[in-house]
Amino acid sequence: MVNEFEIKKKICEIGKRIYVQGMDASNDGNISVKLNDNEFLCTPTGVSKGFMTPEYICKVDRDGKVIQANPGFKPSSEIKMHMRVYKERPDVTAVVHAHPMYATAFAIAGIPLTQPIMPEAVIALGCVPIAEYGTPSTEEIPDAVSKYLQSFDAVLLENHGALSFSDSLLSAYHKMESVEFYAKLLYLSRQLGGPKELSEAQVQRLYEIRRQFGMKGKHPADLCPNVQAGKPSCHGCGGNCNHGADKDMVAEITRRVLEQLGK
C-alpha cells in the first residue's frame, strides 16, 4: 500500500533539491508520480518547487483532471506532457521537468548532447536528443516528446528545458542531474579546446556493461539500428537515428557528406 503522504513529502524534497541546485528558477519546473493506472500526484502550477509542503501537491486522473487539490492549488500547466509520458511508457512511475542552466542552454542553441565524453553519461543516458519546440501547456510539447519516448529516458525541450522519467522518483531526478552534469562538462570542455571523445570501441564496451548490468529504462544503445547491425553506435547521430525514420537518416547522411566536402 503506497503511503501518499510519504510520496508527497518526497516530491517536496526533490523539488527543493532541484531548486537549490539552480536547476529551476522562480516557479519553474514540475514533478509527478504515478500511484496507479488512474491516480497521479503532481506539483501545483505557479509555485516555487523549492518551497513546497505536502498540502501543495495535487492528485489527478490519467487525463490530468483534478481528483483532489487543496484550495488555491491547481495541477501543473504541463500536466499533459507528464500524462503523455505515462501513457506511452507504462514502465515509468515518475516524471521530472526542469530548466537546468547548461542543459537548457544546449536546448536553446539547438545542440543535442551526442558526444561520448564520459563513461557515466554514456551508460546512463547514451545521447540526449532535443524534442522540437512546442508552446508550453499545449499538446505541442507532448507530441514533440512522444517521438523520443521509446528510445530515451531523458530529452531536451527545444528553447525550454529538459524532461526525465524513470521507474522511481529518485531515479527520474538522478537522470535530470546526469543530463545537467553531462551538459555542463560538454560546455566546459568545449571552452577548453573541445572534448576528446571516447572511441567507438570504448563506447561499445560501455554499452556492453550497461547490458550486463541489466539496467532498466530505455537507452539508445538498446534500439539503435546501427548497433543492432554491428555498425558504429548512435553517438553523433543527433539522437535521431533510431526512430525508423529513413528519410531523417538519409538527410543526416547527406548533411554529413556535404559537411565533409566543405559545402
**Active site annotation includes 13:** no
Other residues' Cβ atoms within 10 Å of the Cβ of residue 228: 11
Q: Of these, 41, 78, 83, 123, which contacts ligand 13P (CB under 6 A)?
A: 78
Q: Does 178 bind ligand 13P (CB under 6 A)?
A: no
**Residue 133: helix, strand or coil by DSSP?**
coil
| Alpha carbons 240 and 236: distance in angstroms, whole number | 9
Q: Does 164 bind ligand 13P (CB under 6 A)?
A: no
Q: Does 77 bind ligand 13P (CB under 6 A)?
A: yes
**Residue (99 or 235) nearer to ligand 13P, CB:** 99
C-alpha dist (Å) from residue 96 to 38, 48, 167, 171, 204: 19, 14, 12, 10, 29
Q: Of these, 46, 150, 170, 254, which contacts ligand 13P (CB under 6 A)?
A: 46
Span near ligand 13P by CB under 6 A; candidates 22-30, 51-59, 188-196, 199-207? 22-30
Span near ligand 13P by CB under 6 A; candidates 3-11, 73-81, 165-173, 209-217? 73-81
CB of 75 to ligand 13P, least distance (A): 8
Q: How many CA atoms lie within 13 A of 41 on its CB side?
A: 21
Instruction: Select which of 6, 13, 39, 78 is catalytic.
Output: 78
What's the per-residue H, E or C state across 50-61? CCCCHHHCEEEC
DSSP alpha helix (H) spans, the chain: 4-20, 79-88, 101-109, 119-124, 140-146, 169-191, 200-213, 220-223, 225-228, 246-260
Site string for ligand 13P, 132-161 (x = CB under 6 A): ----x-------------------------
Q: How many CA atoms lie within 13 A of 44 on its CB side?
A: 21
Q: Of these, 29, 129, 134, 236, which contacts ligand 13P (CB under 6 A)?
A: 29
Q: Of these, 4, 13, 17, 28, which contacts ligand 13P (CB under 6 A)?
A: 28
- Chain positions contacting ligand 13P, by CB under 6 A: 27-30, 43, 45-46, 76-78, 136
Supply the residues annotated as catalytic.
78
